[in-house]
Structure 1
Amino acid sequence: MKPVRILFVCLGNICRSPLAEGVMRDLAQKAGHGQAISVDSAGIGAWHVGAPPDQRSISVAKAHGIDIAALRGRQVSAADFAAFDLILGMDMSTVRDLSVLAPPAMAGKVHLFMRYATGRAGDVPDPYYEAADVFEALYQILEAGCLSLLARLEVRAS
């Protein structure tokens, strides 16, 4: 597989994007593509820079055998547009913000995660203000999207 660098982006980088990072890293490693697929996550805002993921994201990841506890929040930077091949926003608001930040020559790297991964438009819902049980549904959405994304990358590489 041709190496690909993927950045998952949500609003604050504590719920959706770090969980997506963990899920994609795990799936890529299990598929034997751990060396070819490099993943990271970031947030549009700086509220949670340096903070670990939301405990509910950590817990649901752990329940599925994935450890994201060491991840730390960071804000999207200008350098990310050059450093990554794909920049996948979790919702349309994030994609709009990323599109404003992207240098014109690199705007084509920015996509809505679910549309790029599955071909179906739709936001990954933000669970921040929800109960802990919503994070299992979030995990399922992200796993399905990441499985589809991995399959798309495998087809592209062949």
Structure 2
Amino acid sequence: MTYRVCLVCMGNICRSPMAEAVLRHTLTEQGLAKRVMVDSAGTGGWHAGDPMDERALRTLTDHGYDGSAHRARQFTEDWFDRYDLVLAMDRDNLAFLRRMAPLGSEVRLFRSFDPNAPEGAEVPDPYYGGTEGFEEVLELVRAASEGIVKHIADEID
């Protein structure tokens, strides 16, 4: 059995692909990589087919993660059939996903798995800022990834 998770932001070139790389790495460290499939997508399609933002990729690379193969994709309603868990980076994307989600779909905020994050905490969009925003995103997704892996482990065991 493969557990499937999709991480979703607006354009799928910054936050969600960074989170995808970190979550895959964390799953590998916990010995769960062969049992879990991780994808990412955007609610918008304007970047579909594009590589990750070079600042996001540089931040990942500088910290030992690989995001070089990433190509942006758009999340569509029929994708809910493919995933056990869909995680949004912010409340706007969460609302968008919940409007199209079939009953019974598990759609949550990514940071809801970080025990130190306040309720409703988001991963901010670093696109219009400098490198410090990408470093912040990396720290936030690292903090939540451990909780996501624990949740997934509980679900598959």
Q: Distance in 1 between matches of 2:65 and 2:96?
A: 29
Q: CA deviation at 1:118?
A: 2.6
Partner of 1:27: 26
Q: Counterpart of 2:107 in structure 1: which amino acid?
A: V
Stretches of structure 2 that go unaligned for 5 or more consecutive residues are none
CA distance in 2, matches of 1:100, 1:136: 31
Residue 75 of structure 2 is aligned to residue 76 of structure 1: yes
Aligned positions of 1:83-94 closer than 5 A: 83-94=82-93
Partner of 1:58: 57
TM-score by length of 1: 0.91
Superposition deviation, residue 156 in structure 1: 4.1
Q: Secondary structure at the match of 2:131?
A: coil
Q: Secondary structure of 1:60's match?
A: helix
Please state how far the C-alpha of 1:157 moved relative to its aligned partner.
Answer: 4.2
Within 5 Å, which residues of 2 pair with 1:1-150? 3-103=2-102, 105-106=103-104, 108-115=105-112, 117-118=113-114, 120-150=119-149
Deviations 1:108-128 (A, max 9, x none): 32111112x135420111101
Q: Which secondary structure does the structure 2 equivalent of 1:79 belong to?
A: helix
**TM-score w.r.t. structure 2 length?**
0.91
Unpaired segments of 5 or more residues in structure 1?
none
- Match of 1:133, SS state, is helix
The amino acid of 1:109's aligned partner reads E
Q: Distance in 2 between matches of 1:152 and 1:86?
A: 10
Task: Give the Å deviation of 1:57.
Answer: 0.9
Q: Distance in 1 between matches of 2:19 and 2:25?
A: 10
- Give the CA deviation at 1:67: 1.0
Query: How many corresponding residue pairs?
Result: 154
Amino acid at match of 2:93: T
1:114 partner letter: R
In structure 2, the residue corresponding to 1:88 is in which secondary structure? strand
Once residues 128 and 44 of structure 2 are traced to their aligned partners in structure 1, the CA distance between those partners, rounded to angstroms, is: 17
**Cα RMSD, aligned residues only:** 1.5
What is the deviation of 1:136? 1.0
CA distance in 2, matches of 1:143, 1:88: 14
Of all paired residues, the percent bearing the same amino acid is 36
Paired residue secondary structure (1:28):
helix
